[in-house]
Amino acid sequence: MIDRGHFEDLLDFVLPRGCVVCRGWMPGRVGHFVCSVCRSRYRAAPWPRCERCHHPAGTGRSERSGCLECSPWPDTLQYARYGYALQGPAGRVVHALKYDGWDGLASEMGSVIAAAVSDLDPPDVVTWIPTTDRRRRERGYDQAELLARSTATILGRPCRRLLRRREAAASQVRLDPLERRQNVRDAFSPSGTVRLDAARVLVVDDVLTTGATGGAAASELAAAGAGGVTLGTFARALPRLEARSGQASVA
């Protein structure tokens, strides 16, 4: 009988793995894809933050003006939470999950999302912002579904497919915020006949950019009866924070 420690050593020997971010050798720790050095370089957003969306306050506007980031969102999108700023290793990890086929990354990214939503009431159900069926076929998986399933497992909550994404929705990557909102307004439809009976829904995605996609998903979930929606992502694009930290590193 071979014990688990020896089995893991053997696996490492047979299947040597490098860190997804730095490609560095990573002995032991089966089930991890990012080395401890790269994980220590993940950047959390500074406090204070907006209570609703956790955008850091004080990035070039007065506190009294309210949060410019989440004010365009529909009321049904009650909260947004994220693990890290989308820069450095976090950006590389998101890319590796989405485009490089590193689907095993979803479990450690899901634990980051579960921790990020831990200040809120637990959701009744976890779902995800789906990609189109065509892209899912091309990629072999939907990265947001993998993240949602791992987040739900850690939270001990059910995970269900509640949304479909229409094929016509263009890629969001090159659009400005207004174009994004127009593009995603009709992007989603309910998956089957879902009645949510005022359930609290956690909708998971890899990255929060403007919240336009999350807002459209939340509106669709509200139409299906959701009582409130939280958007939980692994990372958030914080371009003003990045600009500020860029200046700081020059000084």
| Residue 22 binds Zn ion (CB under 5 A) | yes
Phi, psi for residue 140 in degrees, rounded to 5: 90, -10
Q: Which is nearer to Zn ion, 194 or 229 (CB)?
A: 229
Choices 60-68, 135-143, 154-162, 207-215; region in contact with Zn ion by CB under 5 A? 60-68
Q: What is the 3-state composition of the chain as percent helix, strand, coil, each rounded to the nearest 5?
A: 40, 15, 45
Q: Which is nearer to Zn ion, 55 or 98 (CB)?
A: 55
| Residue 78 binds Zn ion (CB under 5 A) | no
- Gap between the Cα atoms of 168 and 219, Å rounded: 19
| Residue 67 binds Zn ion (CB under 5 A) | yes
- Gap between the Cα atoms of 30 and 33, Å rounded: 8
| Residue 90 binds Zn ion (CB under 5 A) | no
| Residue 175 binds Zn ion (CB under 5 A) | no
- Gap between the Cα atoms of 229 and 174, Å rounded: 26
| Residue 21 binds Zn ion (CB under 5 A) | yes
Beta-sheet strands, E only, within the chain: 77-85, 125-128, 163-165, 188-190, 200-208, 228-236
Binding mask 24-53 vs Zn ion (x if CB under 5 A, - otherwise)? x----------x--x-----------x-xx
Task: Report which DSSP code applies to 135.
Answer: H
**Total number of residues binding Zn ion (CB under 5 A)?**
13
Q: Which is nearer to Zn ion, 100 or 186 (CB)?
A: 100
The binding site for Zn ion (CB under 5 A) comprises 19, 21-22, 24, 35, 38, 50, 52-53, 55, 67, 69-70
